Amino acid sequence: MTYDIEAIKKKIAQLSNPKNGKGNRDKSSAKLTWFKPTLGLNEVRFMPYDDGNGQPFQQIDYYDSRQLTPRRIVAPVQWGLPDPIAELMAELSKDRQSDVTWQLMRQLRLKESHYAPLIVRGQEEKGIQIWEMGQTVLNQIYAVLAHPDYVDEFLFDAEKGYDFTITVTDSGKTTNFSGKDYMVKNYDPQPRRKPSPLAATAKERQALVDSIPNLGEYFKGFAMSEDKLKQIVVNFLQAKTTDGLAAPSSVDERPAQAPSEASRKIDEAFSDL
């Protein structure tokens, strides 16, 4: 078995209590084929992937704030690389009671996304495809893996694993992105009732398993250099100094600090950086 059921159960608990907290492509020559489920039934087979921590999918942390850049940024800190944004967050966290600090940190918190390597039935000639999953779908799949009916089985095994049917429906809702409305879809991933081999022969199965990309290394290639991130931080803080900080939303009842106090704290962040 590749994935660790106990690790999955811990992840389910973590997802049930999420912390507030997706990248510009800076460099990478690798190419992946991306899977986008279509309306209706999608038959797939998840690959026996291991992220190194007992998880069957690759988690990637991002900075995803329009206050920073138009696109999300892969966080270098997750690989122990220099990360000026993480350094700024660490400095700001020393003053959590400040309203200005709270607003800045809210815009810099890490967000996570999860990636699943899989084979799409009927599209086997494309080889392994990668599906970026939302948290709701991730929760649904983890719930299946940890269900008593399957907890003792390795559902992603190349020989004795299970295909999944992903049913996609129109939720009737839309979301606006960059001035354009997009359909909000509902996803229902369910395992087939009987196991089946990933491919017809042992040789074919092994070839597919050997072709699974190292997604951690792939996304690591998109981590920006320290100098580029420093400039992003400088631009971010300069914008805050020039425009001032917005008052907190009505959800948070803490009073906004005066602009002079905001400028002082941003100046301190500049100095620490």
Q: For 1-39, what is each residue's pLDDT tens digit?
A: 677 777 777 777 776 665 543 333 334 446 899 999 999
For residues 259 and 223, the model is more confident at: 223
By residue count, the chain amounts to 273
For residues 26 and 227, the model is more confident at: 227
Residue 74 CA to residue 143 CA, distance in Å, equals 28
pLDDT at 1 (0 to 100): 67
pLDDT at 2 (0 to 100): 72
State which fold the 5-225 domain adopts: Replication Fork Single-Stranded DNA Binding Protein (3.90.198)
What is the average pLDDT across 187-209?
A: 97
Whether residue 267 is predicted with pLDDT greater than 70 in this model: the reply is no
High-pLDDT (> 70) share of the chain, %: 81
Copy the structure tokens of residue 16: 């049930």
Single pTM value for the model: 0.79
HSE-CB at 96 with a 13 A cutoff on CA atoms is 2
User: What pLDDT, in 10s, does the model give residues 82-133?
Assistant: 999 999 999 988 876 778 888 889 999 999 999 999 999 999 999 999 999 9
